[in-house]
Structure 1
Amino acid sequence: MNGIHVPLITPFDETGDVALRVLDREAHDALAAGAAGLVGLGTTGEPGSLSAAERTSILDVLTGIGAPLTIGANTRAELDELRGRPTVTAALTLVPPFLRPGEDGVVAHFEALIQVSPVPIVVYHVPYRTGQQLSAHTLRRLAAIDGIIGVKYATGGVDPDVIDLLADPPPDFAILCGDDAVTSPMLALGAAGAILTSANVAPGAFTDLAAAWRDGDTTRARTLGARLARMSAALFAEPNPAVVKAVLHATGRIPTPAVRLPLLPATAASLRAALSAATLPAHR
């Protein structure tokens, strides 16, 4: 699992329904810009606010595209929804949130889930949301489980554990950046790719960044990485994905900037700052 993967927002129309045709277009545009794959029903897609019928409709749209697809699925029931959908190549599964079961508990949890999952699993490690820290040693234990193929690493920065992992990565285990603002240094250290909310806004720029590091064009990579880090900081000035949706709406790409409670729409000030920081693709 390499390259830039775009965790798609869930667009809503003027009636509050999921705008499925818009979702399909945004997915195709991301792929046309060079994205290696798509992620559906991740945190950026506001899955907790969706009904079961809406989740199924989104799955139907995204699985019909035919591109490599990772789906956010954290429970046995959610994993079972992926059965019989051949374009779903992986599930993105959170480290158990809130409970803080300890590192042995996390390993046991994923050992149990992979036994029932119809697809490989990418571990979503985001301790500032889950409350559970994982050491490099524990991530290597997870990597050794058959069917665990990677980690979305989102600890809030480039820390000693990920430096340890990237210095000697486990075989057949993708270390993916999950913190948009530090994508460039993570790629420089050898990350296989990234799952980036900010790539909803500028997928081509992030694929160019990954290509620059891969090709050894460090001057271009550093310059582009600095610009994209500033853009990402502006897009995350308020809870995700409020500012991203505001930018996509302001540029004519989605019908409304609406998010669902408990999220609130982005403020005008955050939208202005994000538009100023972003280099936006032309809208068709």
Structure 2
Amino acid sequence: MTFTGVYVPLITPFGADGSVALDALESLARQVLADGAAGLVALGTTGEPSSLSAQEQRAVLDVVARVCRERDATLVIGANSVEAVRAVRDQPAAGAVLSLVPPFVRPGEAGVVAYFEALAAASPVPVLVYHVPYRTGQVVPAATLRRLAAIPKVAGVKLAAGGIDAATVELMADPPAGFAVLGGDDAFVSPLLALGAHGGILASAHVATDRFAELVRSWRAGNAVAARAVGHRLTGLALALFAEPNPTVIKGVLHAQGRIPTAAVRLPLLPAGAGSVEAALEQL
């Protein structure tokens, strides 16, 4: 399976009583797919999974899986342990798991490779590596990403290095065959696509989904003039949506648009300020 296009890591909307607003989640999932997303990520970090109970996580996954089945869209599930990856066997709609490079412990490059070998061996579906070193504290150089790409079932990487660094340029100069590179830093996805990335897992694509899909199509088709024009506009939007901790501004915008019942988040997050939400709406 080749992972291309835009994948939306869905937020988890909450109702006025604090419960998960499953109807709003379903509507949101259907809308972004209708607007051009290739697939959805359930229980990714944008969905605040650590703040959800096990029952809430199952409910969220059931809703998103049903929508993906009905729309023949790719379902990616956030799973960050061997046990979580094994549990995906119970979800036949799953197309891949998205697994974070182990955070905080900084296991070293060899430890990262061994960890993903264990995940891949346990997984019934392809594994996408989530590399975000400014959050995990673990640097993964291009050479190590190539080692990860050589592991059977490791199908790609969500690359969120905080910019276009030397490792990114080195990887994209000679990308591993059959290994999808998906942008994960929304403000830098256009230049990453220009280097040859296959798409993106983009929280900003909750809004302006069609334009993010157009951005990927234009770069993939080699239409640099159109891609640059779209990319310049979307960079400003992405910067505004990430002006406060993700997904607080995105939730504020979605609530202002009437797409979710509240802008509520759960601790340790706090709702975005009104000024940040207004600035993002202006970018739209």
TM-score band by shorter chain is over 0.9
Q: Are 1:54 and 2:60 matched, yes or no? A: no
Give the partner amino acid of 2:81: T
Q: Are 1:159 and 2:202 matched, yes or no? A: no
How far the C-alpha of 1:42 sits from its partner, in A, is 0.5
| More divergent stretch after superposition (93-102 vs 108-117) | 108-117
Partners in 1 of 2:280 and 2:34 — Cα distance?
23
How far the C-alpha of 1:56 sits from its partner, in A, is 0.4
Partners in 2 of 1:68 and 1:210 — Cα distance?
17
How far the C-alpha of 1:219 sits from its partner, in A, is 1.8
Q: Are 1:9 and 2:11 matched, yes or no? A: yes
Give the partner amino acid of 2:49: P
SS of the aligned residue for 2:88 comes to coil
Q: Give the match for residue 35 of structure 1.
A: 37
How far the C-alpha of 1:101 sits from its partner, in A, is 0.7
How far the C-alpha of 1:81 sits from its partner, in A, is 2.3
How far the C-alpha of 1:89 sits from its partner, in A, is 0.6
SS of the aligned residue for 1:64 comes to helix
Q: Give the match for residue 136 of structure 2.
A: 130
- Consecutive unaligned residues in structure 1, runs of 5 or more: 279-284
Q: Are 1:173 and 2:179 matched, yes or no? A: yes
Which of 225, 248, 267 is residue 242 of structure 1 equivalent to? 248
How far the C-alpha of 1:80 sits from its partner, in A, is 2.4
Q: Deviations over 1:127-162 (max 9, x none)?
A: 000000010000000000001000000010011111
How far the C-alpha of 1:30 sits from its partner, in A, is 0.8
Provide the TM-score with structure 2 as the length reference: 0.96
| Count of residues paired in the alignment | 278
| More divergent stretch after superposition (129-138 vs 68-77) | 68-77
2:129–2:158 contact (8 Å) kept in structure 1? yes
SS of the aligned residue for 1:129 comes to helix
Superposition map of 1:210-249 within 5 A:
210-249=216-255
Q: Deviations over 1:197-223 (max 9, x none)?
A: 000111111001111112222222111
Partners in 2 of 1:210 and 1:98 — Cα distance?
32
CA RMSD in angstroms, aligned pairs only? 0.9
SS of the aligned residue for 1:62 comes to helix
How far the C-alpha of 1:86 sits from its partner, in A, is 2.0
Provide the TM-score with structure 1 as the length reference: 0.96
